[in-house]
Chains A and B, each alone.
Chain A
Amino acid sequence: MADRVAIVGVAQTRFSPRRADASYAELAYEVIERVLAETGLEIERDIDNTISCSHDIWDGQTISNIGITDVIGGHLRTEEKMAMDGATAVYYGAIGILSGEFDCTLLLAHTKMSQTNRNVVNNVAFDPVYTRLLGFDYTSAAALQARRYMHVYGISAEQVARVVVKNLGNAVRNPAAFHGQRVSLDEVLSAPVVADPIRVLDIAPDADGAVALILASEEKARAVLDTPAWVLGLGACYDAHYLGDRDLAECMALERAAGMAYRMAGLSDPRRQIDLVELGDEFAYQELLWLEGLGLCERGGGGRLTESGATAIDGALPVNPSGGLLGGVPANVAGLNRVAEAALQIMGRADGHQSPGVEIAVAQGHSGFCGQHHCVVVLGKEPR
């Protein structure tokens, strides 16, 4: 790309199952204050665009960015809200800077899942005419996808359970995660079934929290710090809505989003060039399926890749060293947390879960059940 965009700062709340002490605006304030302090940037002087990412129905308030206009610095200034997974906020924020219209953009994602019931919220994401009345939620839809995927590619329950063991183990090392624990394969495989084949530990737990991230143009970024995480590639794509219109074992939208992002980043051989992945493991099987969609292994190869140990934090291709969403990250915040974690790895600031020598990292987030909309962001230590 002619001009360049970089991530210059990241702040995350410690995620928690319940933050009854803070409203979503207070969670937002917490991370915005921190990211400004860390980067030395000031809203009035430096930030010329702000984008928040949340969903009105999760927030229980229509046009819910009304609740954070003050803390995000939106008063009498440019402020937008998007209702997507947080990775798409990075995609959109970067487009704003590449357009030449903005120089420095503050991104925020926030959700308090404790304030409502995920099953009810998920259910109204299904079309009101045909599928909502069946009582679907994301978990029951995911069960269909998991079954289909396991059937088509011969993925075993053990291979999926290895994702849980790995990610919950990684989360122990991540101070922002709350769901970290050392669990055995047996414990994962004998946990209560929620929607066959999905068991309790296969599901990202409810969480409250917020993430703030600052994107800047090259000139601005270089003025803030020497080692920003450069945004090398961006991609997004929608799949069909109705489950019956998709082959749930395939992920066309992710393949296209990844293709777009890799082309932009100039990655000709992503399997060799990508050092680390942070992806949306809302359900454990999705880590395997999304790795395939990202082109990081052959179709049906996600299970074997995980068995080989390659995706472990010290493996050849660490996947979700942060513990991923299984480690406890709120819905919608999920994708911004993925990009933030990938950026921290590039910057060498991932505390207890840092992987050595990360030059290129890829982050993925999805919106909608069974990953209807995917967004892929490629980050690099060096600009292209």
Chain B
Amino acid sequence: MKRQVAIVGGGQTYHASRRHDVNQVELVNEAVRAALADAQMTMDDIDAVLVGNMEFFEGCHMTDCWLVDGSGAYGKPGLKITTGGTVGATIVVAGAHHVASGLFDRVLCIGFEKQEEGDTSAILSAVAHPLFGRSLAGAATGYFAMLAASYMHAYGAKEEHAAMVAVKARQNARKNAYAHLKLDISVEDVLNSRMLAYPLHLLDMCPISNGACALILADEQTARDRCQKPVWIRAAETAHNEQFELDWRDVTTTKPIFSRVCAGRLYKKLGVDDPATFFDVFEVYEPATWAEIIWYEDLGLCGPGEGFRLVEEGKTEIGGPMPVNPSGGVLSTNCIGASAMLRIWEAALQIRGDAGEHQVPKDVNWALTTAYGGTNWTVMTALSRQWEE
């Protein structure tokens, strides 16, 4: 990119399954105000406003247009992007490009979903091809059930391993004031929770959350002049998988797939040989427990079939050598349009040392985030504390 770009502020709502006290505009406004306060800015400082949200989830066409009173976009340039679960990260990358282009110095990025106003699972079954896929109506649960079964069959992992991820996420969430599912649960609780689709139990899946996240990105000059702790966006990569290439739900596939291809490109850009030691913290987009285990492998934190061992050994706990989702992750909070942005914001908080109770107990200089959406799409970002040439 032509100019360096930093995250100079951010904010999120308290996430919950019911937010009857606010409409979508007011929900978004909570995150926008928090981000402006964090950046010590007002809307007068903002040059453009970018919004990410899936209009079908709430049944509102052109939400960006309705949102202007809450997003602050009135009288300003902006646009809306809709790339599914990835959109929160896509918006941040779009914001980084806006700043890098030299046309804008400070850009407000917003991701949100108010899922209680629609039926996301029903709408997600309409993601599939209208002629060849929709009648399967699998949505996210069906898809991750197939992925999990394939993984267990291939590598001998047990439901207990996924349950450990579920416990880690919700125990971490208890340390995160903003998280939705702050559950004091055990492995037994997960295994005893209702079966959704074998081998996925209720507690293996993310919740349906309402919430918003907003980030303010700025050019180098603004970041150095006005921000105590800028977090630099060092690299970003996107890879989308085509919908009919899904036979890789066989986890032993040797085909190039979105996650490995994307990580490979990102690491090459940054010259990363060993991601497990290069990055100090990871925030990954795991709609289901098994997805987190597979992220470990696709990100190269361990070899194929070894992901569930990392969980067993506690390597990815908050205090472990490679902490993954100290925030509680998507398993604890999933307001879809915001989820990928929350990964980036939580990673930024870790780098700033501002994560509070869920701050990892070590120096955080580099963080890696992933997003997950569409028919297996991802957007990854690498963030750092310092910008060294």
The complex places the Cα of A84 from the Cα of B49 at a distance, in Å, of 14
23 sampled A-B residue pairs with Cβ under 8 A: A3-B2, A62-B56, A62-B57, A69-B240, A74-B242, A77-B239, A80-B83, A83-B62, A100-B1, A100-B2, A124-B59, A125-B61, A126-B66, A236-B79, A238-B49, A238-B73, A238-B74, A238-B76, A257-B77, A260-B77, A367-B62, A372-B68, A373-B65
Would B102 and A1 count as touching, CB distance under 8 A?
yes
Contacts of B130 in A (CB 8 A): 60-61
Would A125 and B65 count as touching, CB distance under 8 A?
yes
The complex places the Cα of A122 from the Cα of B76 at a distance, in Å, of 23
Contact with A along B42-73 (1 / 0, CB 8 A): 00000011000011110111101111110001
Known: A76-B256, A367-B62. A83 touches B81 (CB 8 A): yes
Would B103 and A264 count as touching, CB distance under 8 A?
yes
Known: A81-B82, A236-B79. A70 touches B66 (CB 8 A): no
Q: Is B310 an interface residue (CB 8 A)?
A: no
Q: Is B94 an interface residue (CB 8 A)?
A: yes
Would B375 and A69 count as touching, CB distance under 8 A?
yes
Would A63 and B101 count as touching, CB distance under 8 A?
no
Would A70 and B76 count as touching, CB distance under 8 A?
no
The complex places the Cα of A296 from the Cα of B192 at a distance, in Å, of 70
Contacts of A76 in B (CB 8 A): 239-241, 256-258, 261
Q: Is A99 an interface residue (CB 8 A)?
A: yes
* Segment 72-95 of B: residues with Cβ below 8 Å from A: 73-84, 90, 94
Q: Is B135 an interface residue (CB 8 A)?
A: no
Known: A63-B54, A236-B79, A241-B66. A98 touches B102 (CB 8 A): yes
Q: Is B276 an interface residue (CB 8 A)?
A: no
Known: A56-B54, A76-B261, A368-B62. A237 touches B77 (CB 8 A): yes
Contacts of B241 in A (CB 8 A): 69, 75-76
User: How far does the Cβ of A118 sit from chain B's closest Cβ, in whole Å?
Assistant: 11
Contact with B along A28-72 (1 / 0, CB 8 A): 000000000000000000000000000111001111011101100
Closest B residue to A131 by beta carbon equals: B66
User: How far does the Cβ of A85 sit from chain B's closest Cβ, in whole Å?
Assistant: 10
Contacts of A63 in B (CB 8 A): 54, 82-84, 127, 373-374
Q: Is B96 an interface residue (CB 8 A)?
A: yes
In the complex, which of the residues A56, A88, A99, A372 has the most CB atoms of chain B within 10 Å of its own CB atom? Answer: A99
Q: Is A239 an interface residue (CB 8 A)?
A: yes
* Segment 87-126 of B: residues with Cβ below 8 Å from A: 90, 94, 96-103, 117, 123-124, 126
Contacts of B2 in A (CB 8 A): 2-3, 98-100
Would A96 and B97 count as touching, CB distance under 8 A?
yes
* Segment 230-269 of A: residues with Cβ below 8 Å from B: 234-241, 252-253, 256-257, 260, 264
Contact with A along B220-255 (1 / 0, CB 8 A): 000000000000000001111111110000000000
Known: A1-B102, A56-B56. A238 touches B62 (CB 8 A): no
Q: Is B315 an interface residue (CB 8 A)?
A: no
